[in-house]
Amino acid sequence: MATDAQIQANRNNARRSTGPRSEAGKAKSKQNSLKHGGYATVSIAIPRGQFAEDPSEVAAFIDGIVASLEPRDELEHQEATNIAVAYLRLRRITALEAESIAGSSSLRETEADELLELMGSTKTPEQKRESSAFAVLNRIMSVCSRIESRSSTSLDRALTRYRHLQDRDIPPAA
């Protein structure tokens, strides 16, 4: 439980720490979802980093799903795109989970040792790294789980909306 001093310190920090204020800072903050693509709201390829994607492959993936759904009008096409983007998110999160489990976290050994020293650990350096690696993996998997849950929910909703749209009677195009 937090002490009164900690609560007051948190309140004081919250007054100053309100996120980016400049237009440049806000623009940079909007790009955070491009780091791993899990929370991305547009269907663009991740441009750089460990999870960089080929834009033509992402476009082909989305176009393939949309084509397989055979939308009959623009409304169905938009919902089919939403479905494709949800599948893209799930594909990305699978890659992030696999990479995390394989042990390629962004936390370097020295950072792990420093983190555990601050925590007052009396473990050997190897035990420290193992504990730290497990803690990092646990955080990553927690984030993955939240993203996967959100993406699955989005996919379920989009599929339901798409089914309702397909139940409509649409006159043939002239």
- Is 66 part of any domain? yes
- Is 122 part of any domain? yes
Domain count, the chain: 1
Q: Pull the structure tokens for residue 4.
A: 């009164």
Q: Which of 97, 140, 131 is nearest to 112 (CA)?
A: 131
| pTM higher than 0.75 | no
- Is 126 part of any domain? yes
pLDDT score recorded for residue 111: 57
Query: Could you give the CA distance from residue 127 to residue 131 in angstroms, rounded to a whole number?
Result: 6
Instruction: Identify the domain containing residue 52 by its residue range.
Output: 33-166
- Is 27 part of any domain? no
Q: Which residues of the chain have pLDDT under 50?
A: 36, 104-107
Tell me how many helices (H) and strands (E) the chain has.
Answer: 6, 0
